[in-house]
Amino acid sequence: MKRVITLVALASWLMTSLVSAQSPAPLSALAKMPVKEVTIFKDGHAFVLHEGKMPTDGAGNVLMDYLPTPVLGTFWPYSADKNIKLTSVVASERKVLIERTALRLIEMLDANRGAEVILTEKPAYMEKPVPYVATLVGIPRRSSQELEATSPPNAGEKLPQKGDVIILKTSDGTKVLPLERIQDVTFKNEPKPTVGEEEFRNLLTLKLDWLGRNAAKTAEVGLVYLQRGLRWIPSYKITLDNQGNANVKLQATLINELADLEDVTANLVIGVPTFAFKETLDPISLQKEATPLSGYFQQSDRSQLMTQNAIMTQTARMGERRANSISDQPTGDLGPEVTDATQNEDLYLFTVTHITLKKGQRMALPVADYTVKYKDIYTVDLPFSPPTDVRMNLNSEQQAEIARLLNAPKATHKIRLTNSSNAPLTTAPALIVKDDRVLAQGMMTYTSVGGNVDLEITRAVDIQVAKSESETARTPNATRLNGDTYTRVDLNGSVKLTNYRKETADIEVTRYVLGNVTSATHNGEVRKINVMESDRYTPIGNYPSWWGWYSWPAWWSQLNGIGRVSWKVNLEAGKSVDLNYNWNYFWR
């Protein structure tokens, strides 16, 4: 008898607890501030603008269920209504009530407290199951208030702790049944299909001062921040005709791993400003580290480094206005609208309107289309080689490797574009097409308006190159340095070009030497390069791999520099030309 009374009291207490427990706000009541505009940089950062009329709670504040992860110092909320003052913004972990479809038996039972059911328990061995009628009182749980009251100080908020039994009201009294004992349940009426569960969410509370007025149901507020997760990648398609014209098309690929975009205005920026704290998250994010992103946003990714180092540092400006429809009749979806480009200080951007792109999606869209002039050119770059005196100190394998690297120089076929458009060209992959056939893919580099850029096509097998050099004199005691005497070694060289093409070819030849170039034929331009200020002394822009095979003495750079001689030759079909030059270096 005492057991029955105890169970009844327990059931009464549980029902009272269930009723009196203060439930958190449902997720549907939280504000979802839309993204209005994004400014997208090529390095994967985006400046995001949220703004809209948001519902307020009983205290007149806006509670948002979205918490960004901005770069330190770039998070700036605001009130868009001059009659409402934003006093503070609080980011915190809060409890919310989320309604979800009940998928498990325990969830279905929990969602239908008070329902009348026919319940069958799992029978003992050799027993026949006997169903019976019961009313679902509920699954007992320790409330958040109880857990917080019995926890150590400053332990934080707690989620309710659900038990593993269910309380039933039967004709015999109140029954407590382990959930694992339930075999099946039949609801006499249509059951509720969803159940509310509490969980923690990072929420943002915009606290508003209504300046003495009663709080309205909505408030117009906004926030801006810089965050990684939205990137655009440019690419070019260059179509050549046979009259020296090149049709240049710029395409943008958008990669969205930040947030859903719905009818958003996007500013695509070429050029990346300095973000001093881009690797540091703002504390408002409540996160210790950024959310992992794909390889498109990882700066250590090797495939990205091949282009991003150049792409991120270049600036350009481009734009296109969509042509008006000939007919006033409604048309199908033509995609995002690209408006005129504008320049913002040292950065160039163009605006794309009506962008809809869900998180995780990609989008490719045309950006610019213009025609410029081009011409075919052929280049020959001849790097410097070790002096004979140095080669004597190398082993046979090293000498063979040097001979392999320097043997049989080749001419390279390139096209030279003259940027006559109203926008600079940016650094990006470039696909080159002619007569509906792909010729090559190269790398477009930054080119200002009026400038030229070369894109490599292939090796020019019809332009034959032969190089020869010989020593002409050695003059002992030619100069003194710090009490030491040095011998001057004089050499002459020749580069022979033969054009086996059917057309005249414009050929540009550049020869580098370790030493000092004194003269060159055919109007060759002679220059001495300051290696301390410039690294453009080899075709690869750096010292060759064999440079470290020899311990260069300190006096070498004092007496010898790097010389360069360059020629521009217009060579007729079937003709040859010898480009001669003289140079020297000092040795001891």
pLDDT digits (tens, 9 = 90+) for 521-537: 999 999 987 654 455 55
Q: Which tops the pLDDT comparison, 534 or 55?
A: 55
Average pLDDT, the chain: 84
Residue of higher predicted confidence among 5 and 64: 64
> Is 60 exceeded by the pLDDT of residue 581?
yes
More confident residue, 571 or 93: 571
| Residue 348 pLDDT greater than 90, yes or no | no
* Residue 44: Cβ-neighbour burial (10 angstroms; 0-12, 13-18, 19+): buried
Residue 14 has pLDDT above 70, yes or no: no
| Band of residue 542 on the pLDDT scale cut at 50, 70, 90 | low
**Can you tell me the distance from the alpha carbon of 403 to that of 391, in angstroms, rounded to the nearest whole number?**
11
Tell me which H or E stretch contains 41. Answer: none
Whether the per-residue pLDDT at 462 is higher than 70: the answer is yes
What residues pair up with 223 in beta bridges, in sequence order?
50, 77
Q: Tokens at residue 457, please?
A: 């096509």
Is residue 77's pLDDT more than 90? yes
Alpha-carbon span 350 to 421, nearest angstrom: 15
Tell me the mean pLDDT in the region 382-390. 86
Q: Is the pLDDT of residue 303 over 80?
A: no
The answer to whether residue 95 scores a pLDDT higher than 90 is no
Q: Which pLDDT value is given to residue 530?
A: 64
- The region of weakest confidence among 73-82, 303-312, 374-383, 454-463 is 303-312
pLDDT in the model for residue 558: 85
State residue 107 phi and psi, 5-degree precision.
-70, -40
Are 118 and 185 a contacting pair, CB within 8 Å?
A: yes
Residue 9, CA distances (Å) to 4, 15, 134, 140 in order: 9, 10, 18, 13
Average of per-residue pLDDT across 190-197: 93
566: tokens are 């360059």
In whole angstroms, what is the distance from residue 445 CA to residue 348 CA?
A: 15
- Among candidates 215, 417, 423, which has minimal Cα distance to 318? 423
Burial of 380 (0-12, 13-18, 19+ CB in 10 A): buried
> What's the confidence (pLDDT) of residue 358?
95
Handedness of CA 263, 269, 274, 278 (dihedral sign): positive
Residue 218, CB-side half-sphere exposure with 13 Å CA sphere:
10
Model confidence pLDDT, tens digit, residues 110-143: 999 999 999 999 988 778 888 999 999 999 999 8
Predicted TM-score (pTM) of the model is 0.75
Q: According to the model, what pLDDT value does residue 319 have?
A: 33
Query: pLDDT digit string (tens) for 550-579?
Result: 888 889 888 888 899 999 999 999 999 999
pLDDT the model gives residue 557: 82
State yes or no: pLDDT of 374 exceeds 80: yes
- The pLDDT tens digits of the residues spanning 255-280 come to 999 999 999 999 998 877 888 998 89
Question: DSSP per residue over 324-352, as a string?
Answer: PPSS-S------PEEEEEEEETTEEEEEE
Instruction: Indicate if the pLDDT at residue 326 is higher than 80.
Output: no
Q: So what's the pLDDT on residue 493?
A: 94
Q: Residue 100 and residue 106: Cα distance in Å, rounded?
A: 13
What is the token pair recorded at 103?
């998928």
DSSP reduced 3-state for 192: coil
- Mean pLDDT on 341-354: 75
**Element housing 118 (H / E):** strand 116-121
Best CA proximity match to 12, nearest among 177, 140, 133, 163: 140
Q: Which of these, 442, 403, 413, lies nearest to 235 by C-alpha position?
A: 442
Q: What is the pLDDT of residue 480?
A: 93
Residue 340: the pLDDT is: 61
Q: What is the pLDDT of residue 385?
A: 84
The two three-digit tokens of residue 65, written as one number: 């269920």
Q: How far is CA 83 from the centre of its chain?
A: 39
Residue 206 has pLDDT above 70, yes or no: yes
The mean per-residue pLDDT over the stretch 156-164 comes to 90
The tokens of 344 are what?
């913002």
Most confidently modeled of 150-154, 315-319, 577-581?
577-581
What average pLDDT does range 434-459 have in this prediction? 92
Residue spans of the domains in the chain: they are 2-25+56-223, 225-323+333-368, 373-587
Q: Is the pLDDT of residue 156 over 70?
A: yes
Averaged pLDDT, 183-199:
93
pLDDT tens figures, 218-237: 999 999 999 999 999 999 99
Given a cut of 50, whether residue 302 has pLDDT beyond it is no
Q: Residues of the chain with pLDDT > 90: what percent?
A: 58
If 0-12 CB within 10 Å is exposed, 13-18 middle and 19+ buried, where does residue 303 land? exposed
